[in-house]
Structure 1
Amino acid sequence: MKKAITASLLSAFVCPGAGHFYLKKYNIGTLISAVSLTGLVYLLYQAVERAREISDQILSGAVPLDIEIITRLVTQPPANAQYVTLATWVFILGWAVGIFDAYRQGHALDKKEEKAEEL
């Protein structure tokens, strides 16, 4: 399999930046991984905090143990919705950029190897 396809599949299905590590492009791989995973970590942190707040309200008796009320609390937009949206886009765009850039760089390496074989 060509390096371009392998690198893009690694970035798509393993981790953002994994394809760059496969291509030995460690700096850009680290940058893409850090950006994408920072967005993901923020989203996970917010989800855990939201669950903790709701469970504390249930345990204290402030919120009754009713599935409709709990569902309404869970689906309400958070107070910091703009940051959650930003983190979501950072994660998605970081992952997409990682996939396309890994393919682009892998394709360039494939072309370089093909030229070297022709000589």
Structure 2
Amino acid sequence: MTPSLKAALVNGLLFPGLGHLLLRRAGRGCLFLLPTLLAAVYLLRRMMQLILPLAEQIASGALPFDPELITQRVEAAGIAGPAGTLAVLVLLGCWLGSVGDALWLGRHSGH
């Protein structure tokens, strides 16, 4: 298996940009790693802001354990607003871009 294929697999299966470390391209890997990390942290924080109050309401009995009602509350919270959509696009773009870039680097460096 070529180093570029290993790097592409690490980028695709573990985290975007990590595979570039195998190719000794840490700076280029950071171009994928940092935006992905920021987008993931943003989405996780938004989800926690939504989930914690709902979990507290369910635990206290203020909100019945009704999947349909919980789904309505989640949809009403609007986690997928413009910032959420942008974060998801950044995640997808970096994930796919890092795999493609690792393969491209292999083609153009002879690996």
TM-score (norm 2): 0.85
**What amino acid is the match of 1:110?**
G
Number of aligned positions between the proteins: 109
| Pair 1:30-2:30 in alignment | yes
Runs (4 or more) in structure 1 with deviation over 4 Å come to: none
Give the residue type in structure 1 aligned to 2:50. Answer: R
Residues 80 and 18 (structure 1 numbering): CA distance in 2 closer, same or farther, change over 3 Å? closer
Deviations 1:74-96 (A, max 9, x none): 23351671111110001110111
Q: Are the aligned partners of 1:3 and 1:109 in contact in 2 as well (CA < 8 Å)?
A: no
Tell me the distance in 1 between the aligned counterparts of 2:80 and 2:99: 29
Unpaired segments ≥5 residues, structure 1: 112-119
Identity %: 27
Larger radius of gyration: 1
- What TM-score do the two structures reach when normalised by structure 1? 0.79
Q: Deviations over 1:30-59 (max 9, x none)?
A: 221011111111111111110023234443
